[in-house]
Structure 1
Amino acid sequence: MHPPLHILWRDEHLVAVYKPAGWLVHRTGLDAGETRFVMQTLRDQLGQHVFPVHRLDKGTCGVLVMALHSDAARALSQAFEHGAT
């Protein structure tokens, strides 16, 4: 089992966590040997599904924002896409 992720901020729509370097945001066939995934760890930690709105590369550490429901994910993804964040 992996250590819990550090939650920086949370409300009813979004959660911001610190993503350590070396962790993947989600499972991918490109790195089949990896066992550390932010989405899975955060889902288990919060006890609810999370939705990615952006990603950070595996080797990059930093703040990662996840939505707590699909409407928030859609709205924030569109804001990122249009440079409104």
Structure 2
Amino acid sequence: MVRVVLQKGRHYDPKDLFLQRGATLVLVNGDDVAVHHAFIEADRLRFDGGDQEPGSERTLKLTEAGDFVLRCGIHPKMTLTIHVQ
């Protein structure tokens, strides 16, 4: 399963996801000028998408079950909670 998450206006859309283990997230920077930097730091899952220019995409494969928070290193209030079963 592939799920697209939009990064726009200093928000993730959606803000909460329930997915099965093995799902893939595609993070799309939908802003015209803002750069984003998506990351997860958890015991069982680490992800660092690096600086993401407008219009670009990053892919994250969810291999571990649990609850994870995807954050933006540039915009600290941007969060997405991912629930993986």
Larger helix share, 1 or 2: 1
Structure showing the higher strand proportion among its residues = 2
Q: With structure 1 as the length reference, what TM-score do the two structures score?
A: 0.31
Q: Which has the larger radius of gyration?
A: 1
